[in-house]
Structure 1
C-alpha cells in the first residue's frame, strides 16, 4: 500500500518520502508504526544525535522513536494523512485524511493536528 521513494520536496542528504502504491480512501488506516518509547529524562542523550528531529511525544513524560515507515513521512501544513497514537498497541496509526491517489506522496502535519498552521522549527529558522 505504501513505499519509500525519493521525494521531490526533499533536498540535501535526506531525500526520502512515503508514497502510495495504490489509491487510499479517506479514513483508511494504511500503516501502523511500532514505537520505542523512553522517559523524557533520557531525551537529552537523543538531542545530541540526528534522531532528535524524528522523535514524537508519546503521552505524559515519554517520547518515542517510530519504527517502520513512521519516521519517513514528510511534513505539510495541509496534509493528506494524519496519525493517532495507539497507546494500547504501542503504535502510531496512520490514516488517510483525504483520498490519496496511487503515486502521490503522503504527508502528515508534524504539529499533530492536520490543519495546525503553527510554524515548525525548520520554518522558523528561515
Structure 2
C-alpha cells in the first residue's frame, strides 16, 4: 500500500525523493511494503555492492538483512525526519508513518539510524 498522494521527484541535491501532493496528518501510515529477507551470508555479499545503501538490518538479533520493496528505498535521510519506519518481522514488511503533520509538496524523510530523531551517525557520513 502506497498512499495515493505520494509521488517521486528530483530533490535537487539528494537525487530522487518521496513527496506528497496533499497534506497528511501526524500518525498516518503512508506506506506498507513487503521485504525480501536474506541470511547473514548474503549480507556479506550485498555489503560489497550498491545495494548496501538500500538494505535494512533485519530480525531480533539484526543478523539478517532485508530489501524493502515499494518506494521505501527512495525516502531520503534526515536526523529530524518527518516520518518513521517500523519493521514487522511476522509479516515481513516495513511501514512508514508520519511523526508530524506534513504539508502538500513537502519531501518525506526517514532517519536511517532507526528512531525518527536518532542522532547516531549513519554509514555515509562516517566514511
Structure 2, unpaired ranges of 5+? none
Matched length:
121
Q: What is the CA-CA distance between 1:31 and the residue it aligns to?
A: 0.3
Runs of 4+ in 1 over 2 A off after TM superposition: none
Equivalent runs, 1:38-117 vs 2, <5 Å: 38-59=38-59, 60=61, 61-117=63-119
Alignment match of 1:121 (pick from 117, 120, 123): 123
For 1:47 and 1:119, the matched residues in 2 are separated by: 18
For 1:51 and 1:18, the matched residues in 2 are separated by: 19
For 1:2 and 1:124, the matched residues in 2 are separated by: 31
Structure 1, unpaired ranges of 5+? none
Q: TM-score, normalised by structure 1?
A: 0.90
For 1:87 and 1:118, the matched residues in 2 are separated by: 23
Counterpart for residue 18 of structure 1: 18
Q: What is the CA-CA distance between 1:29 and the residue it aligns to?
A: 0.3
For 2:80 and 2:121, the matched residues in 1 are separated by: 12
RMSD: 1.1
Counterpart for residue 2 of structure 1: 6
For 2:120 and 2:87, the matched residues in 1 are separated by: 20
Q: What is the CA-CA distance between 1:56 and the residue it aligns to?
A: 0.3
Q: TM-score, normalised by structure 2?
A: 0.90
Q: What is the CA-CA distance between 1:8 and the residue it aligns to?
A: 2.6
